[in-house]
Chain A
Amino acid sequence: MMKKSIWLYSFLIFSLLFGSNLSQEDACIACHVEVDQELDDEDKIVNHFESDIHIKVGLSCADCHGGDPNAFDDEDEAMWENETFIGAIEKSEQLDVCGKCHSDPLFMRRYSTDVKVDQVSQYKTSGHGISLAEGNDKVAVCTDCHNVHGILPVNDPRAPVYAKNIPETCSKCHSDDTRMFESGLPTNQFDEYKNSVHGVALLENGDIGAPACNDCHGSHGATPPYVENVDQICGTCHSNNKNLFQKSHLNDIFLSKGFGQCEACHGNHDVEKPTDEFLGWSSESACKPCHEDSHPAKLMASHFYQTIDSLKIGLIQAHDMVEKAEHKGMIVSELLFDLEDAKKTLIQTRTNIHSFNNAFVDSGAAPGFVSIQAAINGTNVLLDEVIYRRKGLLAFSLIITIFVIAIGLKVKEWKRIRESEEV
């Protein structure tokens, strides 16, 4: 009696939760509400269904696990005696089970016309897929990244595969020394990444445009990039830098020496926000670790540094002057365009250094110096105008003061005359 009332109570709660009587329609759910009673909330299968994408689109337990969802009265008929029933899905079976729908374009087109169906084929080419094919049952399969029940769409911020959550999801395995021991892979990628310019942008600033693991390694087809692919991967976002570097004389040299083009100077997981000190010949120089002091690279690096530094100093000077004129009430909007042009040139010049060509960098930087000079000249005109106005005010005040004194004296004189007349 007691058991029956618990079942009834759970059934009612579950019915209210979903707004429709799923457990009345599905024998699997009806039964699992009851058998999972003793489990923790997290382990109750039905607790995950509320947000599950598969349940939402009308799929049921039987679509993955087989069995007969209409066999309400007989457990054997529902599961063990049903030839389609496969129960808990082993890792080795997942590609087939998930791929049954996700690799079928006709089936998937019901839900979206542009849905991808190449996940399984991509997975098979990935490090994970190859290892799984070799019999490694510890390797990540679909459910390790997407969850088992309660699977959320990729654009749901709660999903483990949502852009911002991907580093954490990958790190569950890739930061685990025990799990990675056999593969010999390092486990410090996440620690390096989270402090990198990309990691800070994604994890701290919430910029989901910033790259996560999958943007460089691929997602279903995850594999480490080869040296010759590095520029293509970084070039997906940093296309100008990539194009310039590919045309530079360093491209072939790097490839012949086995350096990952961008990675050689900027690193990979721990890529830092580049500073202008990467150029030049200080201790932070990115060129110095490979080149001797006597190498012509020193001259080129120093030249790049000086060019960018001159633009920066000029821009700061012009900006301060324009701000000064603005504080004095002058309209500086046209000068702000010059400053904006100079800023753009500075950014462009920082990109141009990837050409490793002095003449190209110089010609690119030249318009920036012109804009800075235009802003300085324009500000000087405005500051001269401020001085002119103040001189004008001084002259005006002098005239007014003389007038006021003259009137005051005249009034006093009249008063004296009147008083003497009255006497």
Chain B
Amino acid sequence: MSIYEWMNERIDLDSVKKFALKKRVPIFYGSVWYYLGGVSLFLFMVQVFTGILLILYYQPGAETAYESVKFIISRVEFGWLIREVHSWSANLFILFAFFHMFTVFFAKAYRKPREMTWVTGMILLMLSLGFGFSGYLLPWNELAYFATKVGSDIAGAVPVIGDFALRLLRAGDEVSGATLTRFYGIHTALLPGIFTVVLGIHLILVQVQGMSVPPEIEKIPEEKRKSIPFFPDFALQDAMAWLIVLNLIALLAVFFPWDLGSKADPLASAPAGIKPEWYFMFMFQTLKYIPAHVLFIEGELFGIMLFSIGGLIWFLVPFLDKKANDGIRTPFWTWFGILLIIYMIVLTAWGYLT
């Protein structure tokens, strides 16, 4: 009796196999966008793999974090590679997650019955940004320290819960060794746990509901639509994309290594040109140039409110863009997305060029 047969007797693998072999992926002008979700998933797996390896040597703590990262880079065999891959993959992960989100948005793939897939995807993106924010501090270098200080200050400006949120994030009044330990816990235990559960739901929904196609393709009877089998064709093409991305990461890791910089010194004055991670830049830049007061509201608070309302609208798009459910074009939402992308690109470029 083979292992497959042994397992099949107990958990009915045949039905899973049958489902997988029966599963087909539509082929049309936009099929290439299907790979973005897969690439994001691959990058998350790279993060988990390299993250586990880094944990073996990383030592959280104000006196040990920077030194342990330095040790990983300079003394551990291939430690530099693991750290570089982790850093580059983290950035590419968020980049591809953004691409994935916008392609889903413009294809209106969030319409009924995939509202929950969109919502879980948005939660995953928020968690990814949380991964980025918490992971940025872990090397305990100067730039990360002050960027975290500025970032957590913004959380402190939220009305009512601001002070509590600030202390919760920092584990005290200031960014300190306690903050580092807290961020380490968030980055390596709390976020991965939640992320895995939400990712599981997201993937199950994708498998159960199948790939979304644009309304005009949807009108074509299913038997007349072009498609390829998920196994092995699409899975192998996905693997090709993964391999290309893996090669890209290796290339970036070797030719564009991340500078560790100097160790964080809480008593030193903030260095010039503190910038957050690129994916927070448009928000940082908005808060930076918003007037001190907008109407009767404090500028920073106004900015936070703006992003909160904007984020909520974006989160609830499947429930607001109801016409899309009936295959009716909704140019308002398309323009909303285009303007958002232009805003994000312009503000980010502005942040880096000034």
Contact = CB atoms under 8 A, between A and B. Distances in A.
B260 interface: yes
A34 B244 CA distance: 93
Interface in B237-251: 237, 239-240, 243-244, 246-247, 250-251
Contacts of A393: 250-251, 254
Contacts, number: 50
B247 A397 contact: yes
A177 B105 CA distance: 86
Given A404-B240, A411-B237, A331 B247 contact: no
A415 B73 CA distance: 45
Contact of B243 (A331, A333, A403, A410): A403
Contacts of A100: none
B52 interface: no
Interface residues of B, number: 25
Contacts of B233: 411, 414-415
Interface string B252-290: 001011111000000000000000000000000000000
Contact of B250 (A329, A396, A407): A396
Interface string B72-113: 011000001100100000000000000000000000000000
Given A331-B70, A397-B251, A404 B236 contact: no
A410 B236 contact: yes
In terms of DSSP, what is the predominant structure of the interface of chain B? helix
A415 B237 CA distance: 12
B232 interface: yes
Contact of B73 (A328, A331, A400, A403): A331
Interface string A406-419: 01101100110000
A32 interface: no
A331 B254 contact: no
B243 A400 contact: yes
A390 B237 contact: no
A408 B240 contact: yes
B299 to A, nearest CB: 38
B246 A400 contact: yes
In terms of DSSP, what is the predominant structure of the interface of chain A? helix
Contact of A389 (B239, B244, B247, B254): B254
A330 B236 CA distance: 37
A332 to B, nearest CB: 9
Contact of A400 (B80, B237, B247, B258): B247
A388 to B, nearest CB: 10
Nearest to A390: B254
Contacts of A401: 247
The size bracket of the interface on A is 20 to 34
A329 B237 contact: no
Given A410-B236, A411-B236, A328 B257 contact: yes
B79 to A, nearest CB: 10
Contacts of A407: 236-237, 239-240, 243
Contacts of B246: 400
A398 B181 CA distance: 41
A363 to B, nearest CB: 34
B188 to A, nearest CB: 24
B43 to A, nearest CB: 16
Interface in A295-323: none
B65 to A, nearest CB: 15
Contacts of A331: 70, 73-74, 260
A408 B243 CA distance: 12
Contacts of A392: 254
A410 B70 CA distance: 44
B349 to A, nearest CB: 25
B87 to A, nearest CB: 11
A404 B80 CA distance: 26
Contact of B259 (A329, A411, A414): A329
Interface string A72-116: 000000000000000000000000000000000000000000000
Nearest to A328: B257
A315 B254 CA distance: 28
Given A328-B257, A331-B260, A415-B228, 19 more contacts: A329-B80, A329-B84, A329-B259, A331-B70, A333-B70, A390-B254, A393-B250, A393-B251, A397-B247, A397-B251, A400-B243, A400-B244, A407-B239, A408-B240, A410-B236, A411-B237, A411-B240, A414-B232, A415-B233
Q: When A and B form their complex, which 8 residue pairs have the shortest distance between CB atoms, in order from nearest?
A: A329-B257, A331-B74, A400-B247, A393-B254, A407-B240, A404-B240, A400-B243, A407-B236
28 contacts: A329-B84, A329-B258, A329-B259, A330-B74, A331-B73, A331-B74, A389-B81, A389-B254, A390-B254, A392-B254, A393-B250, A393-B251, A393-B254, A397-B247, A397-B250, A397-B251, A400-B243, A400-B244, A400-B246, A401-B247, A403-B243, A404-B243, A407-B243, A408-B240, A411-B237, A411-B240, A414-B233, A415-B228
